[in-house]
Structure 1
């Protein structure tokens, strides 16, 4: 499974998933809880700049072969908070990351999930519900 997790993840290409794993491999069903800088850097590509990451957990759900290569499917659960003079909010995202490779080369990554939020804004209760869907494809010359 490490081959699926060993290439760059975030849009800014600042970190590598293999650095998060620290040389470990994951088995199907295994869960990894991120903390510190690993957690903060991992979600840089899909969290708003004014939000603080509270928790991130990844679970390797499946590894399979396709006609063009291999795919690893990870479950992701994360919690963010936003605190400003006017707004306090906690947002939870529960979704899936699919990582597609061909001959161990990263081809595409897809993130999809549901978002739920609750908090207050200027003394009023606020709730939010939505979906997120992102994709990143790699090209090689």
Structure 2
């Protein structure tokens, strides 16, 4: 699997992924959500990014559309993503604690709820990201109410 295969980007653009006008994402009405949200294909390549995800990652939408989740999630490697994708297809959803590396090299602790979607024979995963902070007394990650 080649995460940097430009053919994947061309296929996504041909299918309309990543375009704000895409009716699927307009129907989900996630483009202007406060919570960071994105969709990825089976290879982990971003196919849709909302404004909040751009703010969280410090990357532009176009930059993210040319990247994969593995590029920003320091908790993942290619094999992990394959395992997560297979788990998503089997169970429909999962929740992960991860660390995202921003464009300016900051590490952001996040909780990610991700679900598998198949529509019109196209498979992808939609993720909903919550910024988390480490609670010092219990050493547990808790969702941050305000970032």
Question: More helix by proportion, 1 or 2?
Answer: 2
TM, length-normalised to structure 1: 0.34
Question: More strand by proportion, 1 or 2?
Answer: 1
TM, length-normalised to structure 2: 0.33
